[in-house]
Amino acid sequence: MAHKTELKFWKEMTHSIRARLLAGILILTPFGVALLVMVWIFHGFTGLMKPVVNAILTLLNRYSPAVSVPETYVTVFIWLITTIIFFFLLYLLGVIGQFVIGKKVVTASEVLVLRIPLIRTIYTATKQVIKALSLPDGKSFKSVVLVEFPREGFQAIGYLTGNIKTPDGHELCKVFIPTSPNPTTGFFELVPPDKIVETSLSIEEAFKMIISGGMVAPDVLLSHKPNSVDNKSG
pTM of the model: 0.45
Give me the pLDDT at residue 94, please.
72
Give me the pLDDT at residue 65, please.
62
Q: Would you give per-residue pLDDT tens digits along the chain (234 residues)?
A: 566 666 666 777 776 677 677 666 666 666 677 777 778 888 887 888 778 777 877 777 777 665 566 667 777 877 888 888 888 887 887 777 666 665 666 677 777 767 777 667 667 766 666 666 555 554 567 889 999 999 888 999 999 988 999 899 899 999 999 888 777 778 999 999 999 999 988 888 888 888 888 888 887 777 764 444 554 545
Give me the pLDDT at residue 171, please.
93
Q: Are 173 and 192 in contact (CB under 8 A)?
A: yes
Sorted by where each starts, the structural domains of the chain and their CATH numbers stand as 2-113 (no CATH), 143-233 (2.30.30)
Give me the pLDDT at residue 228, please.
43
221 CB-contact burial (10 Å; exposed 0-12 / middle 13-18 / buried 19+): middle
Virtual CA dihedral for 116, 121, 123, 124, nearest 10 degrees? 120
Q: How far apart are CA 174 and CA 166, in angstroms?
A: 12
